[in-house]
Amino acid sequence: MIVPFVDLKSQYHSIKQEIDKAIQDVLENTSFIGGPIVREFEQSFSGYLGVQHCVSCANGTDAIEIVLQSLDIGVGDEVIVPAMSWISTAEAVNTVGATPVFADVLPEKFTIDPVKIRSKITDRTKAIIPVHLYGKAAEMSEIMAVANEFDLKVIEDCAQAHGAEFRGQKISTFGDAATFSFYPGKNLGAYGDAGCIVSNNGDLAEKCRMIANHGQLSKHNHQMTGRNSRLDTLQAAILQVKLKYIDEWTAQRIEKAKYYNECLRELNITLPVMDDSKHVFHLYVINIEDRDEVKTELQKRGVATQIHYPNALPLLPPYIANENIADYPIAIALAQNGLSLPLFPELKKSKIEYVAEQLLSFEKK
């Protein structure tokens, strides 16, 4: 049996008519940048989240940089980020001239540890960027408490967690601003690069919109120096169609993740935690000894897996020189033992059973 890691094609085919029509309409209107379709998507997405403002941009990495810039965070400032994430979370901090300061993640939940955040605060700290890693909400009430105590900004990196909730409240609504990626493989994915910033702070959103569009709100009225980071109209049209299905797709992800948990229950490994927060399972990550051998063995049996991520961020070449490895035991163990199994809304239960059977057979050997 072949089990692919993701299958973007079957999702496209399930909504092909609508998508093709949306694309065709953009082509006929030849409005490729900006225009009403981009604004409509921004309104739909902020409505979906229950936030007041959505500013679209070119990708999820730009989104973080733009928020940092809009908060005047730059040279000499420190921003606390989790030791385990996709590199963008830390890299965006470097791009604006500030320094990412890493905090280890929580055991089993793998989101940033609020106690470790405290231990990393200095008088240069300006902000915290919690990441809702794999689709699981970070510990937002404790994080907001630390942020309020030390007067720090909070930027939620929601790239992996469209629609996730922390104790009944949608993520992206806790901090000063939140960022999303619509990279094709994300839970809400465009057919190319795309991203956005959301916020309930109108002034902040307006500044982000200016920065993303050459420092102007109207044409040739450059109030500041900005950049070019726009959402293509084609991508907005595609996202507008796909947004209608996100809750359905998320429900399917959750159902499949629960089925994995059930099928893998007997294994002596760490399975994803399902607690009182809504995990949207961008990734289904198990922690297993001899991970690399297990990965190779699964590959031989037709099962594609991936690693998110093979290195804790502080151990990467751009950062390692200034880091103390002993600070990040949880992130480092996750880099060693974490294995992402195939999970996508269209994944058949029979394939989950097959993956589980393979894993169980290794255990018995």
Ligand X SMILES: *Cc1c(COP(=O)(O)O)cnc(C)c1O
Interface stretch with ligand X, choices 70-78, 83-91, 251-259, 319-327 (CB under 6 A): 83-91
User: What 3-state DSSP class applies to 185?
Assistant: coil
Interface stretch with ligand X, choices 10-18, 153-161, 316-324, 337-345 (CB under 6 A): 153-161
Phi, psi (degrees; rounded to nearest 5) at 44: -60, -45
Comparing every residue's Cβ against ligand X, the nearest one is: 60
Determine if 111 is a binding residue for ligand X (CB under 6 A): no
Q: Kindly list the strands in the beta sheet with 99-103, ordered across the sheet, starting from the edge strand earlier in the chain.
A: 53-57, 195-199, 177-181, 153-157, 125-128, 78-82, 99-103
User: What 3-state DSSP class applies to 186?
Assistant: coil
In whole angstroms, what is the distance from residue 211 CA to residue 329 CA?
38
CB of 106 to ligand X, least distance (A): 16
In whole angstroms, what is the distance from residue 304 CA to residue 358 CA?
12
CB of 169 to ligand X, least distance (A): 20
Cis omega before residue 309 (within 30°)? yes
Interface stretch with ligand X, choices 13-21, 86-94, 249-257, 270-278 (CB under 6 A): 86-94
Interface stretch with ligand X, choices 82-90, 202-210, 225-233, 322-330 (CB under 6 A): 82-90
Interacting residues of 144 by C-beta distance below 8 A, sequence separation 6+: 154, 174, 175
Judged by beta carbon, residue 183 or residue 344, the one nearer ligand X is 183
Judged by beta carbon, residue 88 or residue 213, the one nearer ligand X is 88
Tokens encoding 240: 């507008």
Here the contacts of 358-363 (C-beta below 8 Å, separation 24 or greater) are 358/297, 358/298, 358/301, 358/303, 359/264, 359/267, 359/288, 359/294, 359/298, 360/264, 360/266, 360/267, 362/294, 362/297, 363/267, 363/268
Please tell me what DSSP assigns to residue 155: E
Considering only residues 56, 88, 233, 358, which one is a binding residue for ligand X as defined by CB under 6 A? 88
Considering only residues 86, 281, 284, 354, which one is a binding residue for ligand X as defined by CB under 6 A? 86
Determine if 131 is a binding residue for ligand X (CB under 6 A): yes
CB of 181 to ligand X, least distance (A): 3
Judged by beta carbon, residue 243 or residue 267, the one nearer ligand X is 243
CB of 333 to ligand X, least distance (A): 19
Kindly identify the residues of this chain, within the stretch 28-67, that bind ligand X according to CB under 6 A: 59-61
**According to the 3-state scheme, what is the secondary structure of 30-84?**
CCCECCHHHHHHHHHHHHHHCCCEEEEECCHHHHHHHHHHHCCCCCCCEEEEECC
Judged by beta carbon, residue 242 or residue 351, the one nearer ligand X is 242
Kindly identify the residues of this chain, within the stretch 160-219, that bind ligand X according to CB under 6 A: 160, 181, 183, 193, 195
CB of 297 to ligand X, least distance (A): 27
Judged by beta carbon, residue 71 or residue 356, the one nearer ligand X is 71
Determine if 229 is a binding residue for ligand X (CB under 6 A): no
Q: Interface residues with ligand X (CB under 6 A)?
A: 59-61, 85-86, 88-89, 131, 157, 159-160, 181, 183, 193, 195
